[in-house]
Amino acid sequence: MRAICVHAFGGPEVLRLEEVADPRPGPGQVRVRLQAAGVSPADVEVRAGTFVRLPQLPYTPGSAGAGVVDAVGEGVAGVRVGDRVWLTGAPTYAEACVVAAGRVHPLPARLSFAQGAAIGGSYATAYQAIHLVAGVRPGDHVLVHGGSGAVGTAALQLLAAHGAIAVGTAASEAGRAHVAAQGAAALPHDAWDDLLAATGGRGYDAILEMRAEDNVLRDGALLAPRGTVVLVGAHAEARFNPLELMVRGACIRGMATFLLTADEQRRVELAIAAGLADGRLVPAVGQSFPLAEAASAHQAVWTGAKAGKVVLQTA
């Protein structure tokens, strides 16, 4: 089969398309013939060697995808050959992958494989930020500071389903139109006065911050008393004003999906599956590239000018 292999950390040019052996599922595993793979900012940082956790070289990137189960290992129940699935927890920049049976989930027939590849990391990150870190309640005011990307889109849909009052930011008019289509008020990233006015001056109970180095210095002034800034994304060092947090009894909290316990992971995936099944969650695909153009996909995901998920077509 074909797979993207990385033999040294570096620029997009290290993403090499190679022929490798088909993986074989062991006990408790299934093999998925992949149709699409999600591309995330974390994938880019790992490839560059700047992520906080790095794999052993060589490696195949990716952690989310969608396809059809074509082999089942010993002891697997509830997953059958021919099932359309979305998955997390396996290297997905390839034509096939092996993954634990518990990490594959039915892909609703109305969703494409590309949409399936947009589910895993994005919705898990958004759910963790909203429910496990910020503890958002129905009726809370929440700012998604970077609402047009894959995680931002997932967050706005989850907030709407939860009954929160959301505002999302985007740099372009097209991005703001995408935010509005998710049922949220849409504003530019740096419209600080308008962002506060959107809450009637009370401030936000939670801010999901996708680019901390650009915004967290001023996010504190947008918080309601006892509000929380959740650091979802950061690509450099950031400064913040402690006085803004002190006078509000507010806080800044970090998060990462690899910190989820097994029970939390199961809770997240069950909630996502329920939202997909009843139609409240609709994954959005922004740009799609062939597997051989993984380098272009990495460049696209880093621009921040997309609306929805960047995916690779792996078949």
DSSP class of residue 134 equals: S
Question: What is the per-residue pLDDT for 52?
Answer: 86
Given this model, what pLDDT does residue 304 score? 61
Query: Using CA atoms, how far apart are residues 62 and 170, in angstroms rounded to an integer?
Result: 26
Alpha-carbon distance 201 to 212, whole Å?
22
| Chain centre distance of CA 23 | 26
- Fold identical between 2-119+283-313 and 122-258? no
What is the reported pLDDT for 238? 87
**What burial class does residue 44 get, using C-beta atoms within 10 Å of its C-beta: 0-12 exposed, 13-18 middle, 19+ buried?**
buried
190: its two tokens: 């740096």
Q: Would you identify the CATH topology of the domain 2-119+283-313?
A: Quinone Oxidoreductase; Chain A, domain 1 (3.90.180)
- List phi, psi (to 5°) of 129: -60, -45
Domain residue extents for the chain? 2-119+283-313, 122-258
pLDDT (0 to 100) of residue 305: 60
Res 234: pLDDT: 85
Domain 122-258, what fold?
A: Rossmann fold (3.40.50)
What separation, in Å, do the N-terminal and C-terminal C-alpha atoms of the chain show? Answer: 10
pLDDT of res. 101: 96
Global confidence as pTM: 0.93
CA 186 to CA 6: how far, in whole Å? 39
- In the chain, which residue ranges form alpha helices assigned H by DSSP? 41-48, 113-117, 120-127, 150-162, 173-181, 192-197, 212-219, 242-246, 262-277, 294-303
- Kindly provide the b/e burial profile for residues 136-169, where b requires at least 16 CB atoms within 10 angstroms of the residue's own CB: beeebbbbbbbbbbbbbbbbbbbbbebebbbbbb
Query: For residue 166, what are its two tokens?
Result: 């959301």
Ranges in the chain, pLDDT < 70: 304-306
